[in-house]
Amino acid sequence: MNKYEVMVIVKPAEEEATNAVIEKVEALIARVGGTVEKVDRWGKRRLAYAVKKFTDGFYVLVNFEADPAEIKEIDRVLKINDDVLRHLIVKHDA
């Protein structure tokens, strides 16, 4: 298994809704056989440009381990989640 990090920008909403989205991301990683190592909540920040008519977003950085074949599934699910404005998955070089 390789180490990855995913940066997720969530729609600015109530704290409960934001926590629910973060829990969904953690559950998704666990469902595909990965393990979450660290969740770093950066908080609400202004976006450089409007994304889906939002000017602010809640930034979350998740470090995890997963099988390389499962990254496409994680990417696919994050793309169709309406609460996720943007995301980026990057592989850590050991």
pLDDT tens across 18-65, in order?
A: 899 999 999 999 999 999 999 999 999 999 999 999 999 999 999 999
Give the number of domains in the chain: 1
> Residue 9 is encoded by which pair of tokens?
């920008």
Domain that holds residue 39: 2-91
- CATH code of 81's domain: 3.30.70.60
What's the CA gap between 89 and 61, in Å, rounded? 10
pTM: 0.88
Q: 81 in helix, strand or coil?
A: coil
* pLDDT at residue 15, rounded to an integer: 84
Residue 92's pLDDT band, with cuts at 50, 70 and 90, is: confident
- Res. 17: pLDDT tops 90: no
* pLDDT at residue 94, rounded to an integer: 64
- The CB density around residue 2, as the number of other CB atoms within 10 Å, is 14
8 A C-beta contact, residue 37 and residue 53: no
